[in-house]
Chains A and B, each alone.
Chain A
């Protein structure tokens, strides 16, 4: 352990607040996203004496949670937040729910009213453990300073082991100010028993046999694959047996988008090949994914003919949505490493040529139309952004049409370079999450892709970005609509545009007010120039792209329909 930043020695008698900071240092934490208030002010006082803990003062606690998510995603470490009691803590809830659904490791430390006042409806008292129970992997209430060390230790362990997730620690103010003797605990091994990482020998044999005898195999890999550490094992398996690979939205960038075996993203706005293949394959290897409804469509019609092998680290995911032929609990990469040496080499020309045909169908019906249109399309912006950044920037996508364009048109080449709010679909996620990603890993070139609706949900974080002097770029895809909702209304609600038109602020002036340089782009010829200008400028930069107002994301599987209900393009819908 690097002890350079330690301030406490074993046996020191100090205030709980100081123990909180010391524990964070010992967990290797360097950045905290937070907001002070009456119930956590002792922690901020202790923080003052811990210069190795850099605190990012967000402008809203939701921003702290998303920033911590972005940080966790970019660094692989646990993201940490501080907030005060009551409103400070309730403002975290959306971020916790987001992290819970997308398995992002967080430790959020909230101040609570003094223990003697708990339950009395005191000033800024909220039952934070009660409120956050459904949106955390685990949570704690601490009322005595002696409990702090072991709880923080355990919280980090829980947040980051097995399937990651958010953990909240609510600390009563008197536990922050009270004194306790500092003793750093040892690793608590009993928690480990709950996580099964490896497949059993029997399971390995079964998986191998299924793959070895498959005629039309398909891989669907998700966030669990990305989280397990690298895409190389996955690629090695795919290449050894010529298996087409699809990546769910949260699995994007696990393998390079331009790899010959990459067949796209499945799901509601996924790629044609990735949505056709599940219903034609004979063996479907699902790894580190959870058969989410946005991925499967109507679940009864999902891959009924296929022998599904489901590998996931979370036992409760096996059989939850789709009943697999073979369910294996384990870490994605670990299990794939176990099976790789037993796989025989195979070629799959015929099956792969089917994918070429599907890809071509999408090219003709979707890509060409989007990318060759004379009007400025979001797809073009994202594609040009991809080229201008050598396909190697980190894209932090918000929610809505912009998110789908970011997923579909950026060519991800570097591992773990796409972050978004997948499970909860939280508008406003990207601005703070991008901020957290850049803070955690300044070497990354980070681009936030966001819509005009979403940016206004957490807009105040622009001030944080400036205060932190972050070299962060924002591509605002402005269609002056809540575009994704408008699309549904156009396609499924007779074109009744109910409350989706936005009268937006002047984003240039707004940026000016925050002290962020910006450019507005209204036609194709200026896109690259603007991106180059943004990249050349040190510090934050926003480019507003005025994209075609009523563009639609295709293909689309309407909500509730099965994969066979995929509408490839609007013309197909009229048939």
Chain B
């Protein structure tokens, strides 16, 4: 998952259609977005996007300038991994056959500091956060169980 990703962090005014404009521009310049997270920030009215893309560094740099030209955008930065603390959230629903299997799963969860968010007789919904590598590894370890659903929320990040 985490190949040579660039972290593009964008602050925009919270106006209708901003996300569409940004996504359109990435498509227009032929970037493939690997992940995108959006949410409110400490400043009222300002939305923050964390977008990861693969691609040539010069092109990423130009992409940032292109994004900055969008009228509702306040600030854009292409930030190297070293300067960021980044996290991804993933959720997984697994089927549970019996007690032994449940115990086995819980051991894996403990190792990855994952949490059980919902438990029924025959399934668990699990939450795990961490670097993309950690989530990759978590998935690897869970593969032998019966994964019913799996979703990753994409990278979000703050400056160190």
Contacts and interface: CB of A to CB of B under 8 A. Distances in A.
A406 B17 CA distance: 43
B71 A316 contact: no
B141 interface: no
A119 to B, nearest CB: 13
Given A133-B21, A133-B24, A134-B24, A314 B62 contact: no
A420 to B, nearest CB: 25
Nearest to A190: B74
Interface string B56-79: 001001100110111100000000
Given A134-B24, A134-B28, A316 B68 contact: yes
Nearest to B17: A129
Contacts of B20: 133
Interface in A119-137: 129, 133-134, 137
A320 B62 CA distance: 7
Contact of B71 (A134, A137, A141): A137
Contact of A158 (B16, B62, B66, B71): B71
A315 interface: yes
Between A129, A316, A319, the greatest number of chain B beta carbons within 10 A of the residue's beta carbon is seen for A316
A138 interface: yes
- Dominant secondary structure at the B interface: helix
Interface residues of B, number: 15
A315 B68 contact: yes
Contacts of B61: 319
A138 B65 CA distance: 16
A319 B62 contact: yes
Interface in B47-61: 58, 61
A137 B73 CA distance: 13
A393 B95 CA distance: 81
A316 B21 contact: no
Contacts of A137: 71
Contact of A314 (B17, B69, B71): B69
Contacts of B71: 137-138, 158, 191
Contact of B62 (A134, A194, A316): A316
A266 B24 CA distance: 33
A459 B16 CA distance: 39
A550 B145 CA distance: 75
Contacts of A320: 62
Nearest to A167: B71
B66 A316 contact: yes
Contacts of B66: 316
Contacts of A141: 16
B85 to A, nearest CB: 29
Nearest to B21: A133
Interface in A185-212: 191, 194
A138 B24 CA distance: 13
Interface string A303-341: 000000000001110111001000000000000000000
Contacts of A133: 20-21, 24
26 contacts: A129-B17, A133-B20, A133-B21, A133-B24, A134-B24, A134-B28, A137-B71, A138-B70, A138-B71, A141-B16, A158-B71, A191-B71, A194-B68, A314-B69, A315-B65, A315-B68, A315-B69, A316-B62, A316-B65, A316-B66, A316-B68, A318-B65, A319-B58, A319-B61, A319-B62, A323-B58
**10 shortest interchain CB distances as A-B pairs:** A316-B65, A138-B71, A316-B66, A315-B65, A320-B62, A316-B69, A158-B71, A133-B24, A316-B62, A319-B62
Given A137-B71, A316-B66, A319-B62, 8 more contacts: A129-B17, A133-B21, A138-B70, A314-B69, A315-B68, A316-B65, A319-B58, A319-B61
